[in-house]
Copies of this chain bind each other. A is one copy, B any other.
Amino acid sequence: MKYSLNLLMEFAMNTELIVPDLGASNIPDKVRDILKTAIYDRRLKPGDKLPSEEELRKQFKVSKTVMREALGQLVAEGLIEKRRGALGGSFVAEGNSERILHVVLDCYHLGGLTIEEVIDFRRNIEPIVLEMACARREDSDLDMLKTNLDTCRQALEKGTIDRHNQVDFHRLIAVACHNGLLASSMGAAIKISREFTSKLPFSLPEAKEDFEYNEKFFECIKNNRFTQARELMAAHFERSKMLVKRYRSLDPKK
């Protein structure tokens, strides 16, 4: 079998190699950077199969362990996927914006982002997002949003609260904008909000009030009511602000 990866030899040739990335100190990182560069340059495209670990190991002239660690990092970064078995191997991953969400979440949990920032982000951006959704939504988006509303309504009618879906409605609004970057960043912000608010007390009347907002948002999107949408979203966030404040006053520390 022939692989179009002789270019990797650029590594094997130079013990002190020329890496485009600022010099990684250890060998696995160097190997990883070379493969990463090949992917960035599209010499390796999504779906492409890399040589086997054994083959790569020989090409890079590194040990099995190092090769595995380099590939492991690329897997962790979501750039490649590995499959076992006879037809297995390492494959360049399809671009999926799922990882954006995870990284933002990581950052939040490490204290690199505060909940205030996240909510501030939403408060300022979501009005625009709703406006965009009004302009761009397709019929399938309306169906999607409607399904969410129905699910939440059924829960409320039974006296329960579907908190997950009720918050998720906001993510779906972003999805209806048909912009991956927007959907990812809003998705992350909303996921963090959801994780945070899940600790807050939430009464049935409050939930119903929240749900009514979602219904109003839906009507705006359906009927392309741009300006009304904006005001509504602003009002909604004034409310959220109060909820967070109340929580903070209940539990002053942290």
Contact = CB atoms under 8 A, between A and B. Distances in A.
Interface string A32-43: 000000011010
B94 A110 contact: yes
Interface stretch (A6-14, A75-83, A219-227, A236-244): A75-83
A154 interface: no
A104 interface: yes
A188 B99 CA distance: 14
B95 A39 contact: no
A27 interface: no
B110 A179 contact: no
A179 B76 contact: no
Per DSSP, chain A at the interface is helix
A100 B107 contact: yes
Chain A contact-residue range equals: 35 or more
Residue of A73, A100, A188, A189 ringed by the most chain B CB atoms within 10 A: A100
Contact of A110 (B93, B110, B132): B93
Interface in A171-200: 179-182, 184-185, 188-189
Nearest to A39: B109
Nearest to A74: B76
Interface in A61-108: 65, 68-69, 72-79, 92-97, 99-100, 103-104, 106-108
Interface in A115-165: 117-118, 120-121, 124-125, 128, 132
A179 B100 contact: no
Contact of A125 (B75, B108, B128): B128
Interface of A: 28, 39-40, 42, 46, 65, 68-69, 72-79, 92-97, 99-100, 103-104, 106-114, 117-118, 120-121, 124-125, 128, 132, 179-182, 184-185, 188-189
27 contacts: A28-B72, A39-B110, A46-B111, A68-B69, A69-B72, A72-B76, A73-B76, A76-B77, A77-B103, A79-B106, A95-B107, A95-B110, A95-B111, A95-B113, A96-B110, A97-B107, A97-B113, A100-B103, A100-B104, A100-B107, A104-B184, A107-B180, A112-B180, A113-B180, A121-B182, A124-B182, A125-B128
